[in-house]
Amino acid sequence: MTRRNTRTPTPFDISRNPLDHMAVGYGPHACTGQGLARMEAAALLGALAAQVGAFELTAEPVLGRNLFLRGYESVPLRVVPS
């Protein structure tokens, strides 16, 4: 006897803010374009690294407020060309 997935997906909301979501998921819910997105990110970061000599802080970084993740809310930088 096979078990069926009884979880229902979240309804699609066309009016949602697309900038709030960065995950690509995993398993049966994985984004089908995640391979392309990863290749694009690698190409972008490679091109940036070839053009940038250094990043310099212009002010103190601001720590983000989150109970679960440790990171920065902002990191003021100046890009120095190579």
Domain membership of residue 35 (yes or no) is no
- Angstrom distance (rounded) from CA 68 to CA 31: 24
Please give the helix or strand (H or E) that residue 58 lies within, else none: none
At 80, list the tokens.
């120095």
Position with higher pLDDT, 38 vs 18: 38
70 pLDDT tier (thresholds 50, 70, 90)? confident
Q: How many domains does the chain have?
A: 1
Domain membership of residue 14 (yes or no) is no
Give 43: exposed, middle or buried? Use CB within 10 Å, 0-12, 13-18, 19+: exposed
* Domain containing residue 58: 52-82
Domain membership of residue 64 (yes or no) is yes
Give 24: exposed, middle or buried? Use CB within 10 Å, 0-12, 13-18, 19+: middle
Domain membership of residue 67 (yes or no) is yes
Q: Is pLDDT at 4 greater than 90 in this prediction?
A: no
65 pLDDT tier (thresholds 50, 70, 90)? confident
| Furthest-apart CA atoms within the chain: distance in Å | 63
Q: pLDDT by residue (tens digit) across 29-41?
A: 788 888 898 999 9
Domain membership of residue 2 (yes or no) is no
